[in-house]
């Protein structure tokens, strides 16, 4: 808590939605996720670019917002079988059980059907190559201030 995520109650999250406290938010796998408007604005004011690691729901909100210079990447696995294998490997560290993996796999088609809503589709065959491709695209488009990144 407080490092990668800030954990709050569902009621608190919903209250923050009502108060427009998030630049984007989504319910993903029964959990609420959002990016704090105050945190994002502080980073931008301090001269930083902002990278979001969000799903299609949040990316759509950013794309439809008044924010300018949004660049979006949809990072997808080479195949459905490979994402399943990756989820199994991830479960060793995440503690996800078979039910959690199956829930994620059930959402695979829903997630993938949004890929054409992004500026770029990157197939993650190899993590280093995937990161290098994104770096190259960003370097070539250095004038953009924001990036929306979905995995």
Q: What single string gives the DSSP state of each residue in the chain? A: --SS-----HHHHHHHHHTT-EEEEEEETTEEEEEEHHHHHHHHHTT--EEEE--HHHHHHHHTSS---EEEEEEE-S-HHHHHHHHHHHHHHH---HHHHHHHHHTHHHHHTTGGGSSEEEE-SSHHHHHHHHHHHHHHTTT--EEEEE-
Q: Which residues, at least 6 apart from 135, have a Cβ–Cβ distance to it below 8 Å?
A: none
Rounded to a whole number of angstroms, the distance between the first and last alpha carbons of the chain is 22
Place 12 in a pLDDT band, splitting at 50, 70 and 90: very high
pLDDT in tens, 21-57: 999 999 988 889 999 999 999 998 998 888 899 999 9
Q: Which residues, at least 6 apart from 68, have a Cβ–Cβ distance to it below 8 Å?
A: 145, 146
Residue 137 reports pLDDT greater than 70:
yes
What pLDDT shows up at residue 146? 46
- Asked if 143 contacts 137 with a C-beta cutoff of 8 angstroms, the reply is no
What pLDDT shows up at residue 29? 81
Look up the pTM and report it.
0.79
**Residues comprising the chain, all counted:** 151
């Amino acid at each position: 808590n407080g490092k990668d995520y800030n954990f709050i109650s569902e009621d608190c999250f919903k209250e923050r939605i009502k108060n427009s406290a998030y630049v984007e938010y989504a319910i993903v796998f029964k959990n609420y996720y959002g990016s704090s408007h105050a945190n994002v604005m502080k980073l931008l004011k301090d001269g930083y670019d902002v990278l979001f690691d969000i799903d299609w729901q949040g990316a759509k909100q950013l794309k439809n917002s008044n924010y300018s210079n949004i660049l979006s990447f949809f990072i997808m696995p080479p195949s459905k079988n490979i994402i399943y294998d990756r989820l199994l490997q991830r479960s060793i560290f995440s503690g996800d059980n078979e039910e959690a993996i199956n829930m994620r796999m059930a959402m695979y088609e829903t997630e993938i059907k949004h890929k054409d809503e992004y500026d770029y589709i990157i197939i993650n065959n190899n993590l280093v190559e995937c990161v290098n491709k994104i770096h190259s695209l960003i370097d070539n488009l250095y004038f953009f201030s924001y990036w929306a990144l979905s995995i």
